[in-house]
Each structure stands twice: as structure tokens, then as C-alpha cells.
Amino acid sequence: MSRPEIGVLALQGDVREHIAALEAAGARGVQLRRERELDAVDAVVLPGGESTTMDKLLRAFGLAAPLRDRLRAGMPTFGSCAGMILLADRLVDAPADQRTLGGIDMTVRRNAFGRQIESFEQRMDAPDLAGETAGALRAVFIRAPWVEEAGPGVQVLATTAGGTHPGKIVAVRQGSLLATAFHPELGDDPRVHRFFVRMVQESRQGRQQVQSS
């Protein structure tokens, strides 16, 4: 099967890092800015950056509604940090006029680890992403959110192990949507991007089976 093509929303944020990580995980990463470019990709990445800015730009570029429709229709989508915020059905500690694309039945707290903390590395327990060993995954957190509450259909993929806030939910999946509070695109651990590329391949196989039956 050909490499899946994954569009990284390129309005703001760490776009190049995601493209490099997707390429390393066996996909083709391309920049995504316009609605018509959505038709050419198998999946979407919402990068880290600033979620209030991204929300405004998504609306200004006329991308919010078409992206929301694709998400609802099952297009695989991965959001990291600000991208996790965009995928949340509910936010706390956010400006009243901030909108999200939604899709994951979760409440996300913005800047949950503290605004004063610029960036830190955190260990996580993440059996489905990184194996059963305690603290098996490490990644960079930058003014990161956490998941305050996750609905029954949400699979928890990673929780913080130790640190100032242990046991916090920092990676989740609901159906075709994946979200991490941290930045797997910064650093050289490819496991989260590989996990997402597998999700995309499974979704393509599912669609091809439907088309040929």
C-alpha cells in the first residue's frame, strides 16, 4: 500500500517538526492551509502552538467548519498540545469566546501544568503506546494542558508518572481521533507518530474494503 498522505495544519505552530516526524514514521507529511487541500489527504495533524490563535485563524481561513465535518466523518486526526485543546468537546481555563473543533468527549484544562513552566520533560505510563514498563515514555511538555475528565468512550493512552502532577491524563484516543498534551514531534522518539500512522493505515484499509464489497 502507498504511503498515507497526512496534512499538517500550517496556520501556526510547530508544523515542520510534525512533517519530519511523520516522514520518519513512514507517511508523507504536507502542509495544509486551504479547504481544497483537505480533499487530497488521508489524515490531519493539528500541531502544538497557541490554541486561541489557531481558533481565530481556523475561522478566518474558513477551515473550522470543513475540518469539523471531516472529523465527524471519521478522518483520522492527531492533535498535540494546542491540537489536543482543539479536539476537546469542553475546555476549562479558556477565554469565553474560544471555540474548539471538538470530537473527543473530554474536558481539557489549558495551561494546566502552570503558565510559569516554559518547558519540561516528563515520564509517562503509556502501555498501549510504549509498553508496560512504568515510565516507559518521556516527552516534552510546553505550557501543556491535561485532560480533566474523559467520557466513557475515551481510551486513556498515557498518564504522568511522578513529577509535580502524577497520574494526570495526557494522551487519549476516541475512534479516529488521537490527542497528546505533550509534543512527540520534539525529540527523536517516533512511537506516537508511528501509532498514528498505523491508525491512518487501518482507516484506509477499512475504506478500501467498503469500496470493494
Ligand X SMILES: NC(=O)CC[C@H](N)C(=O)O
What is the closest distance, in whole angstroms, from the C-beta atom of residue 40 to ligand X in the complex?
26
50 is in an annotated binding site: yes
What is the closest distance, in whole angstroms, from the C-beta atom of residue 12 to ligand X in the complex?
10
Judge whether 18 counts as a catalytic residue. Answer: no
Judge whether 132 counts as a catalytic residue. Answer: no
Catalytic residue among 17, 18, 81, 193: 81
Residues that bind ligand X (CB under 6 A): 48-51, 81-82, 85, 110-111, 142-143
**Angle, alpha carbons 54-58-62 (nearest 5°):** 170
49 is in an annotated binding site: yes
Please provide the DSSP assignment of 45-68 as one string: EE-SS-HHHHHHHHHHTT-HHHHH
- Report helix, strand or coil for 143: coil
Q: Maximum distance among all alpha carbons in the chain?
A: 55
What is the closest distance, in whole angstroms, from the C-beta atom of residue 50 to ligand X in the complex?
5
**Which residues are CB-contacts of 71 (< 8 A; sequence separation ≥ 6)?**
77, 87, 101, 102, 103, 176, 177
142 is in an annotated binding site: yes
- Residues placed in the known binding site for L-glutamine: 49-51, 110, 142-143
Residues that are catalytic: 81, 183, 185
